[in-house]
Amino acid sequence: MQFPDNLKYTKDHEWIKVDGNTATVGVTDFAQHELGDIVFVDISTVGKTLAANEIFGTVEAVKTVSDLYLPIAGTVNEVNADLENAPESVNTDPYGKGWMIKMTIGNLADVNNLLDAAAYKQLVGE
């Protein structure tokens, strides 16, 4: 399993990559492994400003549907349109082609409250 050091993580198994005041968000390698084969990603929050830990969408796997939680407060600007026709990208490349949203960060300091790779690995027992 992969735990890139350049990302931050949540206890709900989302990752966030910060680039200035913009962030890219997706689900972790651990999460996609636990969910199984992902068949549909539903995100309808583009343009909305959400608080940290609010649901920004859902991911549907063969046997379950799981909510997606925003790691930090901000505005959802973009959804990965490629997931509409290739939701399996979340399984095959969760930190690359399987990204889910891009957002404008509400408060950059909130990123400091997230887990680093070492803490996330410990959380999931790796």
55: which 2 tokens? 């649901």
Would you state the pLDDT for residue 63? Answer: 86
Q: What is the largest CA-CA distance in the chain?
A: 37
For position 90, what pLDDT does the model report?
A: 96
User: For 59-87, what is each residue's pLDDT tens digit?
Assistant: 999 989 999 999 999 999 999 999 999 99
State the amino acid at position 32 in one-letter form.
Q
Measured distance CA(44)–CA(55) in Å, rounded: 10
Q: What angle do CA 4, 23, 9 make, to 5 degrees?
A: 40
- Mean pLDDT for 28-46 is 95
Model pTM score = 0.94
Return the closest-CA partner of residue 99 out of 26, 23, 21.
Answer: 26
Domains and CATH numbers, the chain: 13-106 (2.40.50.100)
Comparing CA positions, the residue from 116, 105, 13 lying closest to residue 52 is 105
Contact 26, 94 (CB under 8 A): yes
